[in-house]
Each structure stands twice: as C-alpha cells, then as structure tokens.
A and B are shown apart, each in its own frame.
Chain A
C-alpha cells in the first residue's frame, strides 16, 4: 500500500559473524573439503582455517593438476562448480 509504513530490516551483524564462525559452517566446510579430497586419486592436502568465517582448502601437486586435472575433476565429481576467484 502506498501509505503503509516501510518495513525496517536490520541485520544483526554480530550474530551473523557468530554463525559464520560456528560449528554449523565449520562442519559444512569440512565436509566439502573432505569430499573433494576423497575424490583425488593421488596426493591431496586439506587445511582448515578461518578468516572472518570458517574456510578450508584442498591442494594438489601442480603436476597432477596439469597432467591429470586432479583438482578440477574432483570438483566436478563432487558436484561443485570450479570457479577461478
């Protein structure tokens, strides 16, 4: 309605920050990194870290990526879209 007051939305950033650092995100991130690592036939290294939120990484030797596409294939096999950032 034209005369109804505009709803006010405010994001509780402190709570969002807590959620991003919480166990839920931690477990979700770990599950994804472990799924990708499990699909890599050769050497793979995973690490868990935090920025302002929980994060994880999977690393493979450059030789395995260049010759066999170890990481890109594992991402596709895990149903994830590989995106260069």
Chain B
C-alpha cells in the first residue's frame, strides 16, 4: 500500500514578517514576536501575528493577520503601520496567494511597556502544500 499524500499548512505570519523585514532599515525591526526588552524610546518594532481562520483542506488556508507597530510616539507607530499596510496591499509576496480586506489602523497605549501601538488586520490566503511523508525531527 502506498503512503497517502501529506499536506502542511503554511505560516503566513512568518512569511509576511520575513518579507517586511527585508524592506525595513535598521534600527527598526520586524518579526513575529515583540522583543520582551522593547522599551519606549527605542526604535519602532513591527510584529505580525496570526489571529486565526479556517482551512479548506487540503487547498487553502484563510486567516487574519494582525500587524502591530510599537513606537515611542503616536506618529511613529502610525507612520510605520501605514507604510506596512501600503506595502502589503501593493506587493505579491512569494508563499502568500493574496492579502486583502484590510481594517483601518487603530492606536492605543500598551500599559505593559508604555509604548504607542498602531495596529491593523488583513486577510491572508495561502496554499496548503504537499510534503514528503517523514518522521518528525525535533
């Protein structure tokens, strides 16, 4: 008997964060988690989160990504969030089928680190990919 074809869901938050990171100049950063050492006064940090969605197995992953920028003031955070929204809506990112349906940017102050946050969400659709069946290696 042959082994059935295995499929794996992609990780759109990681793909988008890595793509945005290539377009960000130091000292600003982009990633999938906020540095716990991040402090108000430091360079802005853009973080891409996956807030969850649905599968059309084994074809498509539809999920909502949240992009939040932590900055030292409102205009820095909002400015980088606007830039990121424009970038994501304009580009085709390898590994992501489509980014659309963005929300408007909201802002708030993070009571944990006093940083100014600017945040929006965007729908991501990505293909589920066939993989070779193999044991899991930690």
Contact = CB atoms under 8 A, between A and B. Distances in A.
Whether A associates with B in a native complex is: yes
Interface of A: 61-63, 65-67, 69, 72-73, 76-77, 79, 81-84
A67 B68 contact: yes
Contact of B51 (A61, A62, A76): A76
Contacts of A67: 68, 108, 110, 112, 117, 119
A48 B63 CA distance: 28
Interface of B: 49, 51-54, 62-64, 66, 68, 101-104, 106-112, 117-119, 121
6 contacts: A67-B108, A73-B52, A76-B54, A76-B64, A77-B52, A79-B54
B103 A63 contact: no
Given A69-B49, A81-B53, A63 B117 contact: yes
Contacts of A81: 53-54, 62
B101 A62 contact: no
A84 B68 contact: no
Contacts of A72: 51-52, 64, 66, 121
Nearest to A67: B110
A66 B117 contact: yes
Given A72-B66, A82-B64, A66 B119 contact: yes
A65 B106 contact: yes
Interface centre among B51, B53, B101, B118 (most CB of A within 10 A): B51
Going nearest first, the 5 A-B pairs with the smallest beta carbon separation are: A76-B52, A66-B119, A62-B108, A72-B51, A63-B108
Contacts of B53: 76, 81
A79 B54 CA distance: 8
Contacts of B117: 63, 66-67
B101 A61 contact: no
Contact of B101 (A69, A77, A83): A83
Contacts of B121: 69, 72, 82, 84
